[in-house]
Amino acid sequence: MAIAQNKPAQNKRAQANRVSWIDPLVLWSLAGLAAFALLPWTALEYGIFDVTGGELLAAYGWSSVNLSLVAVAVFALFMARPWRGLAAPAAHRVDALLAAGAFLGLLAAADGGRVALGYGAAVQLIALGGIAAVALARLGFIRGDAFMTASILIIVGLVILFVFFPISMVFSKVLVDLDGTFTPFAFFDNVTAFGIGRVLVNSLSLAVAVGVSTTILGLVFALYAARVSRRAQGLIKLFSILPIITPPFVIGLSLILIFGRNGTINDLLLALFGDGGLFIGQGNEGWFERSPYIYGFWGIFLAQTLSFTPISFMLLVGMISTTNPALEEASLTMRASDWQTFRHVTFPLIRPGIANAFLLGVIASLADFGNPLVLGGDYDVMATEIYFSIVGAQLDYARAATLGILLLAFSLAAYVIQRQWIGKKSYVTVTGKGGAGGFQPLPRWMRRATAAIAFAWILFTAILYGSILLGGFVVNWGADYTPTLAHYEELWTRGLGYGAWPSFLTTLGFAAVAAPLTAVLGILIAYVTTRRRFLGRNVIDFGAMICFAIPGTVIGVSYVIAFNTPPILLTGSAVIVIISFVFRNMPVGIRAGISALSQIDVSLEEASLTQRAGSMRTIFSVVLPLLRPALISAIVFSFVKSMTSVSAIIFLVTADTQVATTYILGRVEDGDYGQSICYGSVLIITMLAVILVINRVIGRSRTERQTAME
C-alpha cells in the first residue's frame, strides 16, 4: 500500500509541526517598539524630504515626554504578558481588550491634545490592530483565522477613517458651530441663507432631464445593438471604453469648439447669415451675431447626455439580450403583431432596467463636476457651487459642507432606491437554455429609427472627438485655423520640468500607486463581505455603498475638512491625493471582485484550508490566480479612472502635486483651449493604449491557458 511507504516522511512532518514559532503577539510588539525607535512619531509638516534635522528630531517620540511613551508601555506589557498564566480564553480576552483600548485611547488622546500623528504612530496603531486580530482569532473569531481577522480590522479601520470620519466632519461643520455647540437648526438657516434653493432646483432639474435623455438614448442604442444590428460588438466596445478614457471636461470643451461663441457652428452661421453673409440682403446687417447659447442648462445637458448615455446603454443592452426569446415567440404565436409584442411583452420585461438606467443617469448628473464647470455659465449646480465656495474668494466651509450634505443625500437616496427597490425587481430570466430561434425582429419602423439615431450619434461623437484631436493642431480654433505644432511643443518639448510633463508624470505616479491599492482593497472588501460572516460586516457594506454613491466633489470637500487638522494631518501631501483616488475608484475594485468571486466555488478555498494552508496562503495560491483576469482589469480601470479623476482631488492638490486634470482645468480657466485640448488628446490616447495593450495581454493569457488544456 502506497500510503504505508510514507512513514519516514510523516515523522518529518510531525517534527515540522512541533517547531514553535515566536508568538505573533511578541512580533507585533517588537514592530511597535521598533517604530518608536526608528520613525518620527508625530507628523512632519513639510514631508519627509523637506524636513530640517531639528524638526525631525522633535518629531521622534523619544525626544521628549509625550503620548508615545504610553504606547511604548503598552507594547512592553504585551512582551511580558503578566496575565499569560490565565486560562486560555481569559488571557486572549485580556489581550484583545488591552489592544483595542490602547488603540482607541491613543487616537482620543491625540485628538484631545491636538497631536498630529506621524509614521511611527501609524505603525504602532497597526501593530495594536495586529495584536487585537491575533487575540480575536484565538477566541474563535472568523473561524479562528488571524489573517482574515486582521484584514477585516484593517478594512473596517480604513472605511471608518476615510469614509465615515470625513463625512461626519462635514456634518459637524454644519451642525456644530465654532464653539462646539450643537446647532441642528443652523442647517436649515444655511440652506435658506446661502441662496441654495436656486442651486438645488438647477441641479435636480438638470439631473432629471439628463436621466430621461440618457435612458431614452440608451434604450434606443441597446435595442439597436441587441436586436437590429448583427455587428453590434463594435458599438458595445466603443460605449464601454469611451466614457472611461475621456477626461471629465473634454466633452464640454469639444462642445465649446463646435457650438461655442467662436465655435464652428457660429462661424458657419455667420458665414451664411452674418454681415456680408451668403443669405443676407442689404439692410439686414446685424441680424445675426455670435451668441454664447451653449453655456448654461442646454450646454451641460448636451454634454452630460453625451457623457452618460453609455452607462444606461451598458445596463440596458445586458438586460435586453438576456430576456428569454421564448416569451416573445409565445406572444407571436398568439397572433400578436410585432408592435403589440414589443409593447406588451418586451417592454414590460425591461421596465425595471429602464427605471434603473434613469436613476443611474440622475446620480451621474448630480455628481458631474467637469461639464458644469466649463459649460455652466450662470447655471450653478451643487457640485460646482461646492467648488466655488472653497476655492473662490469666500472660502466658506459651512456653505460647502451644507451643499455637500445635500448632494450626498440626493445621490444616496437615488442610489438606495436603485439598489434596494428596483435592483431586486428584475424579471430577466437567465435559464441557460435560450430559445432555439433567437430573437424576433423588431417592428420595421423601430429598426429604421434606432439605426438612424445610432448612426447620427456615432457621427456626432466622431465629430466631437475629431475636433479634440485636431483642435490641438491649429493656432486658435474658431479664430485662426492655421495648422501648427506650437501647442504640442509648448507642452511636451520643453523638458521634463516644463509644460505638461510635471503634472503628467505626477499623475502617472499617483495612478500607478493608487491602482493596485484600489484593486486589492476593493477585491479584499468584496471577498470578506461575500465570503465571511462576521460582526461588523454591515459597517463595511454601508461604507462600500457610500463609496458607490458619493459624488467626487463631496469626497474632496470632506477630505479637506477632515484632514486639515490633527490628529490626522494630510492635506497638501501626495498621500491624501492617492487615498482619495483609492476611495474614489473603490467601486471598480469591489464590483470586479464580487462578479469574479461569484464564479469561484467556495469549496476550492475550503479545500486549501483543510490542506493546512492558512487563509493568506489560500488567497495567494488559490484565489488570486483564479481572479487574475479580474484583478488585472480592475487595476487597469482604476489606473485609467485615476488619471481622469478631478472632482475628488481638486481641493487636495497643491502646486507640487498638480495632476493632469487640474493642469488642464487651469489652462481652460486661462482660456487657453489649444493647450487644454492638446493635453486632453494625449491623455485619451495614452489611456486608450493602456487599455488596448492590457486587453491584448489578458486575452492572450486566456487563450494560452485554453490551448494548454486541450
Partner 1 sequence: MSNPSASVGVRLEGVTKSFGDTAVLKGIDLAMAPGTLTTLLGPSGCGKTTILRLVAGLEMPTTGRILIGDEDVSLLSASHRDVAMVFQSYALFPHMTVGENVSYGLKVQGVGKEERHARAEAAMASVGLAGYGGRYIDQLSGGQQQRIAVARALILEPKVMLFDEPLSNLDSKLRRQMREDIRRLQQDTGITSVYVTHDQEEALSVSDEVVVISEGAIAQKGTPKHLYRRPVSPFVATFMGDANITTGRVRDLDGVMVVEIDGLRVPIEDAEGLAGERQVALRPESLNLKDIGPGLRGTVRSHAYVGAATEYWVQWGDHELFAIMPASTREFPVGAQVYVDIDPVGVAVIG
Q: Is 698 in the site for partner 1 (CB under 8 A)?
A: no
Does position 613 interact with partner 1 (CB under 8 A)? The reply is: yes
Nearer Cβ to partner 1 (457/527): 527
Restricting to residues 631-690, name those near partner 1 by CB under 8 A: none
Residue 696 touching partner 1 (CB under 8 A): no
Q: Taking CB under 8 A as the rule, does residue 615 contact partner 1?
A: yes
Do residues 449 and 348 make contact, with C-beta atoms less than 8 angstroms apart? no
- Closest separation between CB of residue 100 and partner 1, Å? 19
Residue 137 found at the interface with partner 1 (CB under 8 A): yes
Q: Is 95 near partner 1 (CB under 8 A)?
A: no
| Residue 614 makes contact with partner 1 by CB under 8 A | yes
Site for partner 1 (CB under 8 A): which residue of 60, 98, 99, 138? 138
Which one among 87, 393, 535, 708 touches partner 1, defined by CB under 8 A?
708
Cα 267 to chain centroid distance, Å, stands at: 39
In this structure, is the dihedral angle defined by the CA atoms of residues 595, 599, 603 and 609, taken in order, positive or negative? negative
Q: If binding is defined by CB under 8 A, does position 22 make contact with partner 1?
A: no
CB of 698 to partner 1, least distance (A): 15
At residue 182, φ and ψ (nearest 5 deg) are -80, 120
Residue 707 touching partner 1 (CB under 8 A): no
Cis peptide before 567, with omega less than 30 degrees from 0?
yes
Least distance between partner 1 and beta carbon 442 (Å): 40
Interactions with partner 1, residue window 296-335 (CB under 8 A): none
Minimum distance from residue 121 beta carbon to partner 1 (Å): 31
Burial category of 694 from C-beta neighbours within 10 Å (exposed 0-12, middle 13-18, buried 19 and up): middle
Residue 601 is a binding residue for partner 1 (CB under 8 A):
yes
Tell me, by CB under 8 A, how many residues bind partner 1.
39
Whole-angstrom distance, CA of residue 187 vs CA of residue 403: 10
Helix (H) or strand (E) holding 578: helix 574-597
Helical ranges in 224-323 per DSSP H? 233-245, 250-259, 264-273, 297-322
Tell me the one-letter amino acid at 518.
T
Q: Which of 346, 518, 608, 661 binds partner 1 (CB under 8 A)?
A: 608
Complex with partner 1: residue 585 or 615, whichever CB lies closer:
615
Q: Binder to partner 1 among 192, 598, 610, 707 (CB under 8 A)?
A: 610
Residue pair 598/623 in contact by the 8 Å Cβ criterion: no
Q: Does 139 bind partner 1 (CB under 8 A)?
A: yes
Are the C-beta atoms of 586 and 518 separated by less than 8 Å? yes
Binding residue for partner 1 (CB under 8 A) from 27, 241, 617, 694? 617
Kindly tell me which of 456 and 602 has the beta carbon lying closer to partner 1.
Answer: 602
Question: Applying CB under 8 A, which of residues 49, 82, 612, 671 lies at the interface with partner 1?
Answer: 612
Q: How far is the CB of 102 from partner 1 (least distance, A)?
A: 24
Q: Residue ranges of the alpha helices (H) in 24-87?
A: 24-38, 53-59, 68-80
Point out which span in 267-275, 323-331, 443-451, 615-623 binds partner 1 (CB under 8 A). 615-623
Block residue for cell numbers 448615455: 309
Q: Where are the alpha helices (DSSP H) in 282-346?
A: 297-322, 325-333, 338-341
For 34, 103, 245, the CA distances from 72, given in Å and listed in that order, are 10, 12, 49
CB of 614 to partner 1, least distance (A): 5
The only residue of 4, 87, 393, 535 in contact with partner 1, by rule CB under 8 A: 4
Beta strands (DSSP E) in 93-190 are: none
Among residues 638, 656, 509, the alpha carbon closest in space to that of 584 is found at 638
Q: Which stretch binds partner 1 (CB under 8 A): 49-57, 416-424, 458-466, 611-619?
A: 611-619
- Rule CB under 8 A: which of 143-172 touch partner 1? 143-146
Q: How far is the CB of 626 from partner 1 (least distance, A)?
A: 6
Of 197-205, 288-296, 380-388, 614-622, the window that binds partner 1 (rule: CB under 8 A) is 614-622
Contact between 629 and partner 1 by CB under 8 A: the answer reads: no
- Residue length of the chain: 710
Cα 178 to Cα 307: distance, rounded to the nearest angstrom: 41
* Pairwise CA distance, residues 323 & 331, whole Å: 14
Q: What is the DSSP string of 105-128?
A: HHHHHHHHTTPPB-HHHHHHHHHH
Q: Which is nearer to partner 1, 16 or 436 (CB)?
A: 16
Could you tell me the smallest distance in angstroms from the CB atom of residue 703 to partner 1?
Answer: 15
Which CB, 6 or 291, lies closer to partner 1? Answer: 6
Options 183, 233, 621, 701; binder of partner 1; rule CB under 8 A: 621
Of the pair 277, 614, the CB lying nearest partner 1 is at 614
Is the separation of the CB atoms in 652 and 667 below 8 Å? no
**Torsion sign (Cα): 159, 161, 165, 167:** negative
Site for partner 1 in 503-542 (CB under 8 A): 533
Q: What are the cell numbers at 698?
A: 489578458
626 near partner 1, judged by CB under 8 A: yes
Q: Which of 9, 178, 278, 393 binds partner 1 (CB under 8 A)?
A: 9
Options 137-145, 234-242, 659-667, 679-687: segment touching partner 1 (CB under 8 A): 137-145
Binds partner 1 (CB under 8 A): choice among 177, 275, 541, 606? 606
The rounded distance, in Å, linking the Cα atoms of 96 and 562 is 29
CB atoms within 10 A of CB 641: 21
CA distances from 496 to 473, 485, 502 (A): 21, 18, 6
The answer to whether the Cα torsion of 118, 120, 124, 129 is positive or negative is positive
Shortest Cβ 630–partner 1 spacing (Å): 14
Nearest to 553 by CA among 381, 379, 384: 384
Q: Contact region for partner 1 (CB under 8 A) — 339-347, 425-433, 524-532, 603-611?
A: 603-611
Tell me how far apart the alpha carbons of residues 710 and 706 are, in angstroms, rounded to a whole number: 6
> 476: part of which helix (H) or strand (E)?
strand 474-476
Binding site for partner 1 (CB under 8 A): 1-6, 9-10, 13, 16, 137-140, 143-146, 533, 601, 603-604, 606-615, 617, 621-622, 625-626, 708-709
